Amino acid sequence: MSVEQLTIASYKSSLKPIWCAGCGDYGAINPFYQALLACQIQPKDTVIVSGIGCSGRFPYFCDTYGFHGVHGRALPTASGMKTANPRLNIFAVGGDGDGLGIGGGHIPHVARKNVDIVYLLLDNSIYGLTKGQSSPTSPLPMLSKTAPYGFLEEPLNPLAMYLGYNVSFIARGFSGKPKQLKELFIQAIRHRGFAIVHVMSPCVTMNQHVTFESLKQLYAELPEDHDPASRGMAFERALDTSRLWTGLFYKEERPTLHDRLVDLNERAGRYENFKELLARFK
Ligand code: SF4
């Protein structure tokens, strides 16, 4: 398909999403299709990798290549794909349980490598697919099936965590604000390096505490004088949980893993060829 022929339909698979009616994930996938079109992303050059959870179904509904892997392992799989074939557009998608619970340990290492991938983390503050257990972002004193008398653990602050790990592009959106989300996805796609778009995406079936209404009341866009080059300002906003600050928190241009591998290959190749390397081990 030529670039000129791409339309929104180019990105939609023949499978209709089977999320519950009103699920926040609909508010994330539509702006995602629009962002792919705006960036003229070729479906044949694109892979969407997901973990387990309702949002893990994302690849099924996109007419790209897809890989629905095991719980919490979308990031290492996506990193391997990008390293093996840097020409591909690689997206990782997962929820708060998948990405911040079992898979949370992968985020700092992808950040250190600055792998050029986009991670859509769809946060509904609950394990929806497995019928409503507390997740790493469930707020206190939320009741859930695993915490019938109230949750006991402090919720993570994912934005502060990404900043602490020095992720090179950090944005937060809300699936109730699809226009803003589309713009954030576009910026993330254009960023060279590891980009996280943290999307507040309510689970209307299993979570009666973090809802479209409650998030709308907290919702605020980062002020115009917010400087995404300032990690200090980004931390300040991330730590202010009195509002749901949204927009581009932080962005830094620095070498990607691919840049460093190219450089390494050049430096190594300058001194020896493969035969000389093997001869070292005789
Ligand atoms: Fe969406 Fe919740 Fe239904 Fe899963 S259970 S599809 S997260 S509304």
Q: Are 214 and 196 in contact (CB under 8 A)?
A: no
Contact 64, 242 (CB under 8 A): no
Question: What pLDDT sits at residue 272?
Answer: 61
Whether 124 lines ligand 1, by a CB cut-off of 6 Å, is yes
DSSP labels, the chain: --GGG--GGGGB-SSPP-SPTT-TTHHHHHHHHHHHHHTT--GGGEEEEE-SSGGGGGGGGBSSEEEE-STT-HHHHHHHHHHH-TTSEEEEEEEHIIIIIITGGGHHHHHHHT-S-EEEEEE-SSBTTTTSB--TTPPTT--BTTBTT---SPPP-HHHHHHHTT-SEEEEEETT-HHHHHHHHHHHHHSSS-EEEEEE---TTT-SSS-HHHHHHHEEEPPTT--TT-HHHHHHHHH-TTSEEEEEEEE-----HHHHHHHHHHHHHHH--HHHHHHTT-
pLDDT of amino acid 103: 96
What are the pLDDT digits (tens) for 204-226?
Answer: 999 999 999 999 999 999 999 99
Distance CA 219, CA 205 (A): 21
What are the pLDDT digits (tens) for 6-50? 999 999 999 999 999 999 999 999 999 999 999 999 999 999 999
Q: Tens digit of pLDDT for each residue in 93-150?
A: 999 999 999 999 999 999 999 999 999 999 999 999 998 899 999 998 888 878 888 8
The finding on whether 11 has its CB within 6 A of some atom of ligand 1 is no
User: What pLDDT shows up at residue 151?
Assistant: 83
Q: Is 97 in the pocket of ligand 1 (CB under 6 A)?
A: no
* Ligand 1 centroid, distance to 119 Cα (angstroms): 20
Q: pLDDT tens, 162-183?
A: 999 999 999 999 999 999 999 9
Q: Are strands 219-221 and 195-200 parallel, antiparallel or unpaired?
A: unpaired
Residue with tokens 């009341």: 217
How many C-beta atoms surround the C-beta of residue 193 within 10 A? 25
- Is residue 122 in contact with ligand 1, taking CB distance under 6 Å? no
Q: Is 58 a pocket residue for ligand 1 (Cβ < 6 Å)? A: no
CA of 279 to the centre of ligand 1 (A): 58
Q: Residue 4's pLDDT is what?
A: 57
115 close to ligand 1 (CB < 6 Angstrom): no
* d(C-alpha 143, C-alpha 146), whole Å: 8
- pLDDT higher than threshold 60 for residue 2: no
Q: Which atom of ligand 1 is found nearest the CA of 22?
A: 8
By alpha-carbon position, which residue is closest to atom 3 of ligand 1? 20
DSSP state of 17: P
What pLDDT band is residue 279 in, cutting at 50, 70 and 90? confident
169 lines ligand 1 (CB under 6 A): no
Mean pLDDT of the chain: 94
Looking at residue 270, what is its pLDDT? 63
What is the atom index within ligand 1 of the atom nearest the CA of 18? 6
Domains and CATH numbers, the chain: 3-254 (3.40.50.970)
Q: How far is CA 78 from the centre of its chain?
A: 11
Look at ligand 1, atom 6, and give the residue with the nearest C-alpha: 19
- Helix 178-190 to helix 26-38 angle (10° resolution) is 50
> From the CB of 203, is ligand 1 less than 6 Å away?
yes
Tell me if 25 CB under 6 Å of ligand 1: yes
Residue 5 CA to ligand 1 center (angstroms) comes to 33
Place 271 in a pLDDT band, splitting at 50, 70 and 90: low
How confident is the model over 44-100, as pLDDT tens digits?
999 999 999 999 999 999 999 999 999 999 999 999 999 999 999 999 999 999 999
What spacing in Å lies between the alpha carbon of 154 and ligand 1's midpoint? 23
Predicted confidence at residue 1, as pLDDT, reads 47
Cβ of residue 98 lying under 6 Å from some atom of ligand 1: no
